[in-house]
Amino acid sequence: MPNNDNKVGNMPTPALVSTLRQQAEALVLQEKPTASLDVLDDLSPEAIRKMLHELCVHQIELEMQNEELRQAQLLMDDARARYFDLYDLAPVGYCTLDEQGLILEANLKAATILGLDRRMLTRQPIARFIFKADQDIFYLQRKRLSQTGEPQSCELRMVKHDGTQIWAQLAEAGTQETKNKDFCRIVLSDITERKKNEVELDQHRHHLEQLVLSRTAELAKAKEAAETANRAKSTFLTNISHEIRTPMTAIISLTYLLRRTKLIPEQAEKLSKIDTAAHHLLSIINDILDISKIEAGKLELENTDFRLADILDNVRSIIDESAKNKGLLPIQIDSGDVPLWLRGDPIRLRQALLNYAGNSVKFTDKGLITLRSKLLEENGDKLLVRFEVTDTGIGISPENIPRLFQPFEQVSTSSTDKYGGTGLGLAITKRLVELMGGEVGVDSTPNIGSTFWFTTRLQRSQRIIPTAFRIMKPGEAETQLKLKHKGARLLLAEDNDVNREIIVALLRSAGMVVESVPDGLEAIKKAQANSYDLILMDMQMPNMDGIDATLAIRALPGWKTIPIIALTANAFAESRRTCTEVGMNGFITKPIDPEILYTTLLKWLPPKMKNAHNGAIIKHTKALTNIVSSGTTTDAAVAQAQEKSNDIALAQMAKIPGINIPYCQSILGGNAERYLELLALFIELHANDMILLATSLDNGNYKEAKHLVHSLKGSAATLGIDHLAKIVAHLEGKLGDIEYKTLHNDDIHLEMDTINLELKAISSALSFTPIHGNAVYPEQATLRIALKKLNSLLAESDTAAIPLFENYTESLRSTLGLAYEELARQIKGFEFEKAHKTLQSLLHQNNET
């Protein structure tokens, strides 16, 4: 037998074993053998035994594998149990849904959330548990899931099996093993508590927002109220300061007049003290007026060209004398590299500097004061300039510096005792400087000295400015005008007789040759016939106003460049623009301030040809100024006589009720006699105004009525009859929209009556015969109205009853007889209730008779 590796002795060959195994396996699988077992017949017993042995081994192997499988199965069961535990005990609900959305399985939590036994849940559509209105959210999410395959999540309301509504978060994802079948798994969380908290939070937030809104509104209201109160305070301060200034002016003027009379030394000394005290008081009132004006936002800055050196010189000249009196060295000025001509508000700049400079003298006992200006920035025409006032005075300790520049702050009360003051100067300076776009500050060392500084935004002046138009000392403009333009020919067009007289007098006293006309048409005729160096043109005139007249004059040959200056009571920018548009050069507001009139003339009058005489005059300005300003005569006796009669006139002026004496003195260069003449003319022209007004009103001729009142107001203001101008202005205000509203005739007649009384008072102060019109004016009618008004004022305990009663003293006394005294006592004693009763019974008796 050949040696064969597959066959050992009579052992079945491995090939045979393999065949047998295949057949056995086929048998197991198909349960029918593919080959017959006849092959076994060929095997030896040994081979069969071996094969059996081998089969035993295989069986053991199989059993071992079976055991392993059982173990694995046990492990798997264990794991599965654990997984189910986890699945059931998870804090969120799990559900598996089929493609129709039916629940295939759910964990315990899902059952709890949905409120139904787990077994009952199976085959339930999940949509059944979704709140109707939120179904769309769920379907949309399913659609997105099937489109993208991406896990989705939404929050919606669900309804538990028992009908309770809950909020749930529903996260969905397709399952791995059921990918092709559109199965999905849902993670369900009950977020009702969170939602509730969110709603509460939202409510809180909303409430908070409401609270913030209402608080903000309250704050805004409080702020508004505070601002209103502050404005009211400022307005009150402005009014009260204004009101105080009027009697102050009277005190100062009367003191001035008294000092010019014969006095014993003791009286003179006392008057001098009154004068100093009054001026001091006036300066404090002015400070208060300034600060309240600034705080009320009523202070407007000018923007004009000026020469810096003039301001610095002016400040020096003001403090010079007191510095000298204190033994200080001469005041130094260093204007640095600041351009000579600037544009800004010279008045306010001077005021700020003067506040610093005044303090420096006040707080310095020895050494030197320096006024300095420096250019800090330059951007085209725009400049930032720093001003400094340095002194070698008492200085300020570092802890006191932060308190400076606050209103009413003074470093120490002892300084107030020693140096006086209100503590307003620095505060005003700070606010002025801030209005001028700058800042304030101070560097100071106690006992060494201080440097108070401020910066301000200014512009480089564009124009070559005539030297005449700069800040001048009082009276300087008039002197300059006399020196430079004496004999200049001027035309004045002004319809108001009193205004015309005054302006003509002012111009003549400055050496001008003046012709005057009452309207625009006449002005054109004059301009056609004559040549003038300048025209002063009123804006509102009958027949032809200033605008049309200017347009016509500008069209005349040779009249293109002759200066025409507008005169108007309307100071608004709009009105200024109209003047410029029609070719006017300048603008003067009424009532005319002589200084402004002269300064404007200096600015616009064309220079005269220089001659030897003029040169000489200029060389001796000072000496000549005295002569020119006191008149041209050198005859001492005549001058003395003139002064005396002027004094008498001044004393008479002082008796005229409601006039602004310093102003009246200034308008005609102190010529009181001339003033009284004009006042007499005024009374003559306006005495019957109220009768005319009553007639115009009765006839419905409102235009004429308004013109009458406007003209009376203008004349009164020009003549400085402040009180009359004020009450007429009030009446004018009432007549303003006369066409459009029903007039309160009683009020109008009362005001007319008051004006009439005022005119009468002026007339009798001038010791003229009583105003003719009184007899004609329907006094009884107005008395009746006045009594009615008095009755209602008394009923309301209104103190306005007192002046009203006083206004009618004479007529009431004669009408009421004995009852007058009783009524007067009650009203003046503020017993308004009693007075009301008295008056009512009087009225009652009157009605019965």
Chain residues that interact with ligand ADP, rule: CB under 6 A? 355, 359-360, 363, 391, 393-394, 396, 404, 410-411, 415, 421-427, 450, 452
- Edge to edge, the sheet with strand 513-517 lists 513-517, 489-493, 534-538, 564-568, 586-589
C-beta of 449: minimal distance to ligand ADP in Å?
Answer: 8
C-beta of 413: minimal distance to ligand ADP in Å?
Answer: 10
C-beta of 285: minimal distance to ligand ADP in Å?
Answer: 13
408: amino acid identity, one letter: F
Nearer to ligand ADP, 344 or 425 (CB): 425
Burial letters for 406-422: b for 16+ Cβ neighbours within 10 Å, e otherwise?
A: ebeebbeeebeeeeebb
Rounded to whole angstroms, the Cα distance separating 444 from 463 reads 39
End-to-end CA distance of the chain: 181
Tokens of 298: 């009523």
C-beta of 410: minimal distance to ligand ADP in Å?
Answer: 4
Nearer to ligand ADP, 449 or 658 (CB): 449
Nearer to ligand ADP, 310 or 409 (CB): 409
C-beta of 783: minimal distance to ligand ADP in Å?
Answer: 52
DSSP 8-state class, residue 830: T
In the three-class reduction of DSSP (H, G, I as helix; E, B as strand; rest coil), residue 406 is classed as coil
Q: Which of 283, 299, 307 is nearest to 348 (CA)?
A: 299
Nearer to ligand ADP, 425 or 720 (CB): 425
Q: How many CB atoms lie within 10 A of CB 521?
A: 17
C-beta of 369: minimal distance to ligand ADP in Å?
Answer: 9
Nearer to ligand ADP, 445 or 621 (CB): 445
DSSP 8-state class, residue 769: P
Nearer to ligand ADP, 422 or 815 (CB): 422
Nearer to ligand ADP, 431 or 836 (CB): 431
C-beta of 422: minimal distance to ligand ADP in Å?
Answer: 5
Nearer to ligand ADP, 115 or 407 (CB): 407
C-beta of 385: minimal distance to ligand ADP in Å?
Answer: 20
DSSP 8-state class, residue 364: -
C-beta of 426: minimal distance to ligand ADP in Å?
Answer: 3
Cis preceding-peptide flag for 2 (omega within 30 of 0): no
- Name the β-bridge partners of 96: 105, 185
Nearer to ligand ADP, 312 or 678 (CB): 312
C-beta of 427: minimal distance to ligand ADP in Å?
Answer: 6
Q: How many Å separate Cα 551 from the centre of its chain?
A: 39
C-beta of 355: minimal distance to ligand ADP in Å?
Answer: 6
Nearer to ligand ADP, 205 or 418 (CB): 418
* Dihedral sign (CA 517, 518, 520, 525): negative
Rounded to whole angstroms, the Cα distance separating 195 from 169 reads 10
Rounded to whole angstroms, the Cα distance separating 697 from 680 reads 27
Q: Is 791 exposed, middle or buried (0-12, 13-18, 19+ CB in 10 A)?
A: middle
DSSP 8-state class, residue 768: P
Nearer to ligand ADP, 356 or 587 (CB): 356
DSSP 228-286: HHHHHHHHHHHHHHHHHHHHHHHHHHHHHHHHTS---HHHHHHHHHHHHHHHHHHHHHH
Rounded to whole angstroms, the Cα distance separating 582 from 584 reads 6
DSSP 129-157: GB-GGGHHHHHHHHHHHHHH---EEEEEE
Nearer to ligand ADP, 115 or 423 (CB): 423
Work out the angle at residue 776's Cα, subtended by the Cα atoms of residues 775 and 778, and round it to the nearest 5 degrees: 100
C-beta of 504: minimal distance to ligand ADP in Å?
Answer: 44
